[in-house]
Structure 1
Amino acid sequence: MARASQCAHPGPVAEPKYQIRALHTESTVTVYQAYAPEIGLPAAREGRYPAVWQRDRMTWIKPSFLWMMYRCGWGTKEGQETVLAAEISREGFEWALEHACLSHYEHGLHADRATWKRQLKRAPARVQWDPERDLHLQPLAHRSLQLGLTGEAARLYADEWTVSITDITSLAHTIHAHVQGGDLDAARQLLPRERPYPVNEGDLAHLYQ
């Protein structure tokens, strides 16, 4: 008789707590933002952010579609009615990660709080890891990357890294309608096919909590 340990089927493999998951190609990665129509609509129409998009302010990009839905309420929150999918160059995305600082002080990762503050002040990008969301926008155990861009990184994102911008508001509303109607399979079929982004763990060591 075979031993139980040989016959047992392994359970589902848990998602790593910190892992970048995104819709990506060989040259681009898709990130999400949501804006008021006066910014979002011309951005999608022209394929680039308009002049009124403030390049001197911090902007947060999110590779997770469902985290963006949590943030913008499926495109219903005031000032976030237009949901955008921006394809940006992988070179730009990876440059931002390389030059990013974790958005909060973490004992054991940073030498001390003062050192972290200096790094944060100098960094053109910062990273937060927030709970990923399910179709009901409830938190999951693993984390989703948020990448904040400021100064040089924000300007590069808007004017050099961005390859295309697509208005996906109708997609967000359609998926939300399926969720509200209880048809989670239909909703899941429409989700962007996000998969682990190929980056060396050592390259992200400065961004793990």
Structure 2
Amino acid sequence: MADFWLTLACSFLVRYDPWINGLFLRVEHLPGVKEFATAIKAPEVNVGGFALALLVLIFSRVTRFHDRISDIFKIRARFDRANILLPLAVMSGAQMSARQVANLKRDRHPLVRATFYKYARPAEANIRSSTSTTSKAHWRLGTYWVALEWLFILTGFAVLSAFARAAWFLIIFWTASMAARFYLYIFGMDCWNEGRIPRSNR
């Protein structure tokens, strides 16, 4: 839902620009828009922004947007290996050969399902994880996906502001998108550093 609320908040902000507000007004005057908003009990203020936020939410869920991005850039594959499988192996005291470490890439799916996703929601699991590794990894991965979706949403509003020649909005959204990008960069560097294993285990 974070993508919904961010889009809705941004839509309130950009409507202070007359040209962008005109676009939203056109959407709000399309046949059936107000009737649909009334049917789902949407707020009467900023109906166009609510509709846009709802479309973003539906698109994100239906297309599994962050999963598609992850597949393209191999984000989850690197995260699973560096932040889940390797740390768990080291903490268990296992002495892994270079070949075994390389095989983690091949066997990632069954290993992660058995060691991480089974305990990702301890309240729903029969056995609670004995360490905080799974809960920490679950939280960090969740915040990564939120930041990734926010990066695309904020970039979209920055592009819209550029078309409207709204300089202040362009600066605001571009800066916010760069903040999200910086978080992703720091997250990636942190994952890499934590995911390293001692040389004796390589």
TM-score, normalising length: structure 1: 0.28
Higher gyration radius (CA): 2
TM-score, normalising length: structure 2: 0.29
| RCO comparison, higher one (Cα < 8 Å, 6+) | 1
More helix by share: 2
